Amino acid sequence: MSVQNKINQQFPTAQIEEKPDRLIISINAESLREFALMLYNEKDFRFDFMRSLTGMDWGEAGFGVVYHLESTDNKHQLELKAIIPDREKPFIDTVSDLWKTALLNEREVYDYFGIVFIGHPDMRRLYLRKEWEGFPLRKDYVRAEGLDMSNEEPDDTTVTWYRDEKGIPQARRYNLFEKEEYVVNIGPQHPATHGVLRFRVSLEGEFLKKLDVYCGYIHRGVEKLCEGMTYQQTIGLTDRLDYLSSLQNRHALCMCVEKAMGLELSERIQYIRTIMDELQRINSHLLFFATFCMDLGALTSFFYGFRDREKVLDILEETTGGRLTMHYNVIGGVEDDIHPNFVKRVKELLAYLPAALEEYRKVFTENVIAKNRLIGVGHLSRENAISFGTTGPTGRGSGWACDVRKRIPYGVYDKVDFKEVIRGECDSYARYLVRMDEIKESMRIIETLIDNIPEGNFREKTKAVIRVPEGSYYTAVEASRGEFGVYLESNGEKLPYRLKFRSTGLPLVACVDTISRGEKIADLIAIGGSLDYVVPDIDR
């Protein structure tokens, strides 16, 4: 039975809109729970992967939550809009028990919109401090005067909401950590968190009992900022999310706007963007190798990784002018044509890298200590990977074919032959090996494309003021560490009505608690390194 028939049959009130790539279904928040259970459990189309969860403020129509769902088996795409008409008391049921990625995402929505998820075990703010007044992404939000510069009091209590017998939502407070627990802060300033991320870790000797993630130390409110910018201005913010996927992030946003406008791009642009994305992936994975080795105490390998990454950066710098936040993709193409040396230097890099990778294999991959530290550590099962939405090399290390380049090809990925690296061991070592093998696959892609870059425009003409037709759009690319999605809701104005970025890092951080319980502190560092999150991408 098709998805549509099934829904029509069971939920006649649901509004269904059919788009070429997905179904858009609007329902009332009251029937969300039932609807979600049906989508999750129905055998014919098991929607087990939640790509994105977005909070919305539709003004008069009330608040809403938009769920992007995919079924990993038969690739159905679905966009579910749950509308909460009551603006005064916005309540909605949680789906975090079905899709665990909602655990942090629902907290984010609560943080931005004040929508309370009933049944969510931990309804705290995610990014903003708990004294923050109001919910900033509401359209009627007025910022309080002045800044609160006082110190935040540590507080280990949280709140969860439930319905009493009459069906009225009630709050219940409880403690996250008991007084007698030995709780250690890993972060926010800690060498192994790769940025300002904070874990509160409860220890039993060397063993980890429980872990609680604190985000928001580098939160800049990018999504809020975007609502006050023109489309050309918003692309400048995307490089600063995951700074090791800056080209790919920008690619996603540009592609989303271009698709919405119906802009056709020349072959040359597609080729350049694809090559650049792959160079960026090599760059990111080399940095992963370096920092991962450093986390495990192999400092020499750290320098090897950085030495070779430098060569990639030099090539990128020559063409884009940047080394970290590269302003290259623009709406309608790329900023400038590739540098005359580009092709030659990329070929030199391709000739150089295999020897470097062989060196990594000798010094680290095959090292007996490294193997002992990694094999079997941080087991993330395939079910959990899908449920948490840990896309990218982390998901593929758990045997889940989640590569956007294969699932929904973009650029010229459908024209090149490359292998999606998948391993079934589900541990830190598998995640590490996937990344090492992906470097080789990226090299293969570049090798195929580099000689065949067709002539053409490097930038299509666009109007000075871009207006996107009314509607909602979701586009994703395979960034260095997973699916980076852009959800755009436009009302036809020159400013986006709502722009949401699907973070690649948030699901990775969400799963740390599950996979590191019962392991040792040293394993937590190895697990964190193998997940390879980038903090500005989590906090946005």
Partner 1 sequence: MFDFSKVTSGIHTWLSEYLSQGLAIFIECVAVGVAILALYAIIAIIMIYMERKVCAAFQCRIGPVRVGPFGVFQLIADVIKMLIKEIVIISHSDKFLYNLAPYIVIIGSVLAFACLPLSQGLEILDFNIGVFFFLAVSSIGVIGILLAGWSSNNKFSLIGAMRSGAQMISYELSIGLSVLTIIALTGTMQFSEIVAMQSSGWLLFKGHIPAVIAFVVYLIAANAECNRGPFDLPEAESELTAGFHTEYSGMHFGLFYVAEFVNLFIVSAFAATVFLGGWMPFHISGLDGFNRVMDYIPGALWFFGKSFFLVWVLMWIKWTFPRLRVDQILQMEWKYLVPIGLVNLTIMALCVVFGWHF
Residues forming the site for partner 1 (CB under 8 A): 182, 184, 190-192, 203, 206, 293-304, 307, 363-364, 367, 369-370, 372-373, 520-523, 525
Q: Pick the closer one to partner 1 by CB: 343 or 521.
A: 521
Q: Angle at which helices 428-450 and 342-360 pack, to 10 degrees? A: 150
- Minimal distance in Å, beta carbon 398 to partner 1? 22
Report residue 206 CA to chain centroid gap. 31
If the CB atoms of residues 281 and 373 are measured against partner 1, the closer one turns out to be: 373
Which of 133-166 are b and which e, b meaning 16 or more Cβ less than 10 Å from the residue's Cβ? eebbbbeebeeeeeeeeeeeeeeeebebbeeeee
In the complex, minimum distance from the CB of residue 355 to partner 1, in angstroms, rounded to a whole number: 14
The answer to whether residues 144 and 134 touch, using CB atoms and an 8 Å cutoff, is: yes
Q: What Rg do the C-alpha atoms of the chain give, in angstroms?
A: 23
Residue 433's CB is within 10 A of a number of other CB atoms, namely: 18
Instruction: Name beta bridge partners: 162.
Output: 170
Helix (H) or strand (E) holding 200: strand 198-204
Measured from the CB atom, is 4 or 372 closer to partner 1? 372
Q: Give the residue with the Cβ less far from partner 1, 47 or 302.
A: 302
In terms of CB distance, is 203 or 218 closer to partner 1? Answer: 203
Q: What is the DSSP letter of 529?
A: H
Instruction: For residue 439, give the DSSP letter.
Output: H
- Nearest CB to partner 1, comparing residues 80 and 183: 183
Strands 23-28, 77-84: pairing is parallel
173's tokens: 């407070």
Pairing of strands 116-118, 91-93: parallel
Q: What are phi and psi of 102, to 5 degrees?
A: -70, -15
Minimal distance in Å, beta carbon 281 to partner 1?
24
Q: How far is the CB of 184 from partner 1 (least distance, A)?
A: 5
Residue with token string 């570049």: 446
Shorter beta-carbon distance to partner 1: residue 13 or 151: 151
* CB of 194 or CB of 250, closer to partner 1: 194
Q: Are 93 and 102 in contact (CB under 8 A)?
A: no
Minimum CB separation from partner 1 for residue 385, in Å? 24
Residue 205 beta carbon to partner 1: minimum distance, rounded to whole angstroms: 8
Element housing 505 (H / E): helix 505-510
Supply the minimum distance, in Å, between the C-beta of residue 177 and partner 1: 13
How far apart are CB 295 and partner 1 at their closest, in Å? 5
Q: How far apart are CB 438 and partner 1 at their closest, in Å?
A: 22
Residue closer to partner 1 by CB (options 144, 369) is 369
**Cα(428)–Cα(388) distance, integer angstroms:** 16
Provide the phi-psi class of 136: left if phi over 0, else alpha when psi is between -120 and 50, else beta: alpha
By residue count, the chain amounts to: 540
Q: Which of 217, 287, 303 is nearest to 246 (CA)?
A: 287
Cβ-based nearer residue to partner 1, 304 or 474 = 304
Enumerate residues 6+ apart whose C-beta is below 8 A from 172: 159, 160, 161, 162
Nearer to partner 1 by Cβ, of 188 and 456: the residue is 188
Query: In 13-146, where do the E strands start and end?
Result: 15-18, 23-28, 49-57, 63-70, 77-84, 91-93, 116-118
Nearest 5°: the CA angle 186, 99, 431 is 55
Strands, E, within 282-367: which ranges?
329-330, 333-334
Shortest separation between residue 307's beta carbon and partner 1, angstroms: 6
Closer to partner 1 by CB, 186 or 426: give it.
Answer: 186
Question: Phi and psi for 121 in degrees, rounded to 5?
Answer: -70, -15
